[in-house]
Every structure is written in structure tokens, then in C-alpha cells.
Structure 1
Amino acid sequence: MEQQRRVETSDNSSSCSSSTTSNDDYRENTVKSSAMPSKFVLTYGEMAGASAVVLGFAVSLIGVYLSLPVSDYSFLKLPRTLEDLHVLRDNLERYTCDYTIQVLVGYCTVYIFMQTFMIPGTVFMSLLAGSLFGVFKGLALVVFAATAGASSCYFLSNLIGRPLILSLWPDKLVFFQNQVAKRETRLLNYMLFLRVTPTLPNAFINIASPLVNVPFHTFLLATSLGLLPVAFITVRAGMALGELQSLGDLYDMQSISILFFIGLASVIPTMISNTSEP
């Protein structure tokens, strides 16, 4: 009997040991599988949401296209050079007076689409606004479209942005998050400073702001006000589009100095607040 009990005890201990080993192996495999990147960065729900946004822009552009008279619209493409911009401006001038609403809706849709999905080339769209509509109307149009596009990017990033930005700009995201955390009481001034100066790219600010807990009302106000100086310089340059030889001609020393002092003025309250704290 005693030998039988020893055998049973030995069997139980070996069984427990085997079970423990099995559990350890299971945990180890679980950790490894969670650490490994998935094949698809986005979930099906997130992909569906992003696809719905793209579909909405596509429907808007198709509606504008169908509302225009039958003609050759081969010139309708996103400008990548000043030569492309000249061709687009020369052709759109014929439609701006008779089809103002269609041109405005099409312009805003394209601009907002580019801002939402971080497509480069919005500087050409700002030049186009100044050339077609003048300084004040062009400035209002650019600020509205740029702010709406940045807001659209903000909400889209809140849906699908985290895995994308972690794969593209992980270090910048950590830096931005630390800066925002240190400036919670003067966050509007800091966001204005970022918009006016080239400290961080505007595309990065749009996609990263919801991920580092920048409130939307602060983001919206800083965007609409912070884009005004740069937009004014670009729209004004669009009035003399024929004189531009390159994009480098947009910013002379006077324009750069103005932007620098505006950015400095926006961050001074934050600097004063930091120095006054014990």
C-alpha cells in the first residue's frame, strides 16, 4: 500500500509539473504572438471607415464633374509643378465666372481631400486660389479648406491613425506627446507656434494631435489662426503667378522675418509662464 501511494504521489507531481510546463509554454507562445506584428495594420472596421471617407470624396468630385458642361477636361489634374499650375489656372479661368459654385465646390473638395490624406501639393492649390479669386476671397477659401481638411485628418487619425503613425514617426510622436504634456495650461500658444513655424510638419500635427490628447477645439482654433500668415503670403504670391520662377520665390527675407516674429509672439506667454513657476 505504501509503495502504491508513493507511485500515485509521483504520478500526480509529474502531472502537475507537466501541466505547469504546458501553461508556461502557452504563456510564452501568447507573448510571442502578441509581440509579432499582424499582417494587416488596420482592422476591418477601421478600413471600412477610411474607405467610406474616400468614397464620399469620390462622389463629391464626380458630382462636380457631371455638373460642368461637356468639354475636354484633360487639364484637370493635381498640379505638381508651376507649369502644371499655369495650365490649370488658364483653363479654370474660363469656368470661374459662369460656374462659380462648381469651381468652388470642386476646389474645396480637392483641397480637403489632399489635407485629409496628407497628399503633398497644397501650396499649389493656395497659389491657384490667389490667382483665380484674389487675395481676400482666396485667403478665406484657403483657410476654410485647409482647416476643414486638417479637421478631417484629425478625426480620421482618431479612427485609424495610431498604428500608422507608430510605424512612420514613432520618435516624433514621443517628442510631441512630451511637449504637449508639459504645456497643458498654454497649449493653444504652443499649437499656434507649431502652425506658424516649421518645427513640425503640418501633416504630422494633423495626424498626431488626437493621439496625444490635444482637444479638438484647441486644435481647430490654432489651425485656423496659425495658417493665416502662411496662407496670406502664398495667396498673395498667386496674384503674380506669372512672375514666379520656383517655389523658393514665395518666401523672401521679409516674409520669413514676419513668420518668425509671429511664431515668437505666440510662444512668449508659454515662456513667461514657465519662468514664473517655482
Structure 2
Amino acid sequence: MNLKKIALVVAAAAAIGLFFYFDLQRYLTVAELKAHRAQLLDYYATHRLQTVLVFVAIYVVQTALSLPGAAILSLSAGAIFGAALGTLYAVLAATVGATLAFLASRYLFRDAIVGRFGAKLEGINRELAARGGNYLLFLRLVPLFPFFLINLAAGLTPLPLRTFVLTTFVGIIPGGFVFCNAGASLASVQNVREVASGRVLLSFALLGLFALVPAIYAKIKSR
């Protein structure tokens, strides 16, 4: 491993360590968001571009390092920027962060990830290698596996980077909009779990099945 890769690994490990050392996760709650929403809106009113850039940067780092808090950040996007713009910023940031995690998995942490998650990733890897973008779109629409685990698994397969980026961007739009729309009406939200209701998850599952139709057809045809 060359010096650049070592430096990146050390920087990532340091950032993750600092996140948990200072217990920054305690700020990523619905209660904290409600308590500080007024201040965030006031700051956004006078520093629009800066607020957007800082938010996107935080979301990218959170996703790239597979840290907790994505749901709260999506709610925050809706609470600060509104449902439409919040979805745009959240989806763009999550896609960039997921792409960085994908590249890190492929080029930096491959051995460590296989050693830590090998058994859990085996099935995902097999399906991604066989069905590529269709299966990835299904996984993005239907939350069967954690978002970060899919990023890591995809990096271990021959899946093209362009396919990963495009499919991730499209696949997380529905979920992103649900959370950002809920964030725009933050007063009615008590916890993260109630946002992803059974009806919402069922809708995602149906969308995911449509994504798998070409793969299912190809499998039937081959038999």
C-alpha cells in the first residue's frame, strides 16, 4: 500500500474515531433537530449557499464513512430546504458519499471488508455480479440490507462505476423524498421509525419488483 492510500486510511479511521469519541451521534435525533430548527432556518435565510455546501459536505462524509445518522440528515434537509430542494441536496450528497465508499471498498479496504463482512456480503455479491444494475436498483428501493453494506458489497464486484452511480442516484430518490417530505412537516414527526411506515415500505417493495423484472425474465428465458 503506497503512502497516499495509507494517508487516506489513517484519515478515515481518525474521522470515525473522533465521531464516536465525542459522541456526535447524540446530536442526530429528531428532538435535537426540532430544538435547533429555528436557528438553522435563520442561518439559511442569510447564508444560503454556505448552508447548502456545509450540509452536503456533512452528508457526504457521513455516507462515505458509513457513520450513523443518514435518516436524520434527510429529515434535516426537508426541514431546512423544503421537500423538493431537500430531496435534491440529500440525494446528490448520498450518491457522492456512496460512490466514495464504493471506491474505498474496491481499492483501499477490500481485504478488511471481506474479513469483517464476508459471510454477509456473499449473497449480495453473487447477485450483483450476475444481475448488476437491476439488482442494485432493487436493493436501493427495498431496504433489505443497510445502505452502507450495499456500498461496500458493490465495490467488491465487477459492477461498473457509472452503473453504480446512476443506479444509486435513481434508486434513492423515492426514499429520500419520503424523509425530506416528512422533515418539511417536522412538527408531526416523533421518531424516525414512524416515517418509514408499512405502507411506504410496501410501495418501495413493489417498485423494487419492477426493477427485478428484466433479471427474472432473463433467468426464466435461460431455463
For the residues of structure 1 that align with 2:48 and 2:158, how far apart are their CA atoms? 39
Q: Is 2:93 the partner of 1:145?
A: yes
2:6 is aligned with what amino acid?
A: M
Q: What do the CA deviations read for 1:212-266 (whole angstroms, capped 9, x no partner)?
A: 1211011011100000110011011001111111212102333122111101111
Question: Which residue does 2:164 correspond to in 1?
Answer: 219
3-state DSSP class of the match of 2:194? helix
Q: Is the 8 A contact 1:161 1:207 kept in 2?
A: no
What is the Cα-based RMSD across aligned positions, in Å?
2.3
- Counterpart-to-counterpart distance in 2, 1:228 and 1:155: 21
Determine which of 23, 28, 33 is the counterpart of 1:85: 33
Q: Secondary structure at the match of 1:118?
A: coil
Q: TM-score, normalised by structure 1?
A: 0.71
1:176 to 124, 133, 136: 124
Looking at both structures, which has the greater relative contact order when contacts are Cα pairs under 8 Å and sequence separation is at least 6? 2
In the alignment, residue 59 of structure 2 is paired with which amino acid?
A: Y
The aligned runs of 1:48-87 (5 Å cut-off) are 48-51=7-10, 79-87=27-35
Distance of aligned partners of 1:103 and 1:267 in 2 relative to their CA distance in 1, 3 Å threshold: same
Tell me what 2:199 maps to. 254
Deviation by residue 1:169-219 (Cα, 9 ceiling, x = unmatched): 111232222222332xxx211110011112222101112212112110110
Q: Which residue of the other structure, out of 150, 154, 164, is the alignment partner of 2:102?
A: 154
Instruction: State the Cα distance separating 1:157 from its structure 2 match.
Output: 2.0
Residue equivalent to 1:46: 5
Between the aligned partners of 2:134 and 2:58, the Cα distance in structure 1 is 30
Q: How much identity, in percent, do the aligned residues show?
A: 27
C-alpha contact 1:176 1:212 (8 A) present in aligned 2: no
Aligned partner of 1:205 in structure 2 is 150
8 Å CA contact 1:130–1:236 kept in 2: the answer is: yes
- Corresponding letter in the other structure for 1:217: R
Give 1:164 shift: 2.3
5+ residue gaps, structure 2, are 16-23
What TM-score, normalized to structure 2? Answer: 0.88
1:102 matched to 2:50? The reply is: yes
Deviation of 1:88 (Å): 3.2
CA distance in structure 1 between the partners assigned to 2:39 and 2:130 by the alignment = 50
Match of 1:117 in 2: 65
- C-alpha contact (below 8 Å) 2:141/2:204 kept by paired residues: yes
Shift of 1:77: 8.0
Assess if the C-alpha contact under 8 Å between 1:153 and 1:207 holds in 2: yes
Q: Which has the larger radius of gyration?
A: 1
**CA-CA distance at 1:149 after TM superposition:** 0.7
What is the count of residue pairs matched by the alignment? 215
In 1, Cα distance between equivalents of 2:197 and 2:86: 21
Shift of 1:89: 2.0
For residue 247 of structure 1, give the secondary structure of its aligned residue in structure 2. Answer: coil
Look up the equivalent residue of 1:212 and give its one-letter code.
T
State the AA in 2 paired with 1:50: V
**Structure 1 residues 151 and 227: CA distance shift in structure 2, 3 A:** same
Opposite residue 133 of structure 1, the aligned amino acid is F
Q: 1:78 to 1:236 in 2, by over 3 A?
A: same
Alpha-carbon contact 1:50-1:156 (below 8 Å) kept? no
Does the Cα contact within 8 Å between 2:128 and 2:154 map onto a contact in 1? no
Q: Compute the displacement of 1:52 (Å).
A: 5.6
